[in-house]
Amino acid sequence: MVVDSKLYDILGVSPDATEAEIKKAYKKQSLANHPDKNPGDENASQRFQEVANAYETLSDPDARAAYDRYGNTDDMPGMGPGMGPGMDMDDMFGKKYREKEQCKKCHGKCVVSAKTRLRLEIPRGGFDGQRIIFEGEGDQLPDTKPASIIFELKQKPHETFQVRNLDLLATVNIPLSEALLGFSRTILTHLDGRQIHVIKKQGEVIRPNQVDIIRGEGMMDQRYLDRRGDLFIAWNIEFPPDDWMKSADADVRIGGMADI
């Protein structure tokens, strides 16, 4: 029977718990009481420290045996830290954790804060919601696997293109004259800076709501780098205003006067 069960209570285990049970409980309590997991909780750091201290003692067979036999003697009047009735030098070394032996960097918390730079490269063909994972670059607690840092891409709206899986959709405005008579010109600039040139022969009429497809000018497939989506061109025909005839008549009259 143990004299004091406080350290066992901190880890949430019984005094007859096995080493494996103590280790498992320590991991659970460390995660639950980590200061980073409890922002705004001023007592989280103290609880985390108590968990670390409890595990430090109970994970060592000699220290645990001394604790079970004498309990926590630090608070007993007239006793030095770790020195109980009838304790010899071996017992003193059994409880190896001392405040003065704390790590100067972590102060007994077993973790330190550090800053690092991560280079995030957006792959060609990256899509909205895609996750880029940095394995093992997150927080780490004692005896646990380091966490990962996950970035999720959020695609901003583009002034020219809309994305539909691997396909791109762009709306191009053309005057009625080009829709009827044809044209040969650059209609837009692609995402990589290339000029997209389209030729519409005379008599090849573009009708309202017509959509043309330019094959292979969409987004790149990350799985197959030689595969790309298509570019869909939605033509928006700009019709003249209702009073366009007045302007045309005025132009004819001005032209006739100039001839005279």
| 29-62: burial string, b at 16+ Cβ within 10 Å, e else | bbeebbbeeeeeeeebeebbbbbbbbbbbbebee
69 vs 101: which has the higher pLDDT: 69
Looking at residue 237, its pLDDT comes to 93
Looking at residue 251, its pLDDT comes to 56
CB neighbourhood size of 75 (10 A)? 8
Looking at residue 138, its pLDDT comes to 80
250 vs 241: which has the higher pLDDT: 241
d(CA 140, CA 149) in angstroms, rounded, equals: 12
Coil, helix or strand for 216?
A: coil
% of the chain with per-residue pLDDT over 90: 30
Alpha-carbon 197 to chain mean position: 39
The pTM for the full model equals 0.47
| Residue 2 pLDDT greater than 80, yes or no | no
Residue 18 host element (H or E): none
Q: Taking the alpha carbons of 99, 102, 104, 107 in that order, is the dihedral positive or negative?
A: negative
pLDDT digits (tens, 9 = 90+) for 146-173: 888 888 888 888 999 998 888 999 999 9
pLDDT digits (tens, 9 = 90+) for 111-137: 667 777 888 888 777 888 888 888 888
CB 118 within 8 A of CB 133: no
User: Beta strands 131-134 and 167-175: pairing type?
Assistant: unpaired
d(CA 244, CA 149) in angstroms, rounded, equals: 61
252 vs 121: which has the higher pLDDT: 121
pLDDT digits (tens, 9 = 90+) for 3-49: 888 999 999 999 999 999 999 999 898 888 888 888 888 888 888 88
Looking at residue 250, its pLDDT comes to 56
pLDDT digits (tens, 9 = 90+) for 66-97: 888 887 645 433 334 444 444 444 444 454 44
Looking at residue 105, its pLDDT comes to 60
179 vs 118: which has the higher pLDDT: 179
Long-range contacts of the stretch 95-103 (C-beta < 8 A, 24+):
95/57, 95/63, 95/66, 95/67, 96/56, 96/60, 96/62, 96/63, 97/53, 97/56, 97/57, 97/63
The full set of domains in the chain, from first to last, is 6-101 (1.10.287.110), 114-155 (no CATH), 161-245 (2.60.260.20)
Question: What's the whole-number mean pLDDT along residues 228-256?
Answer: 76
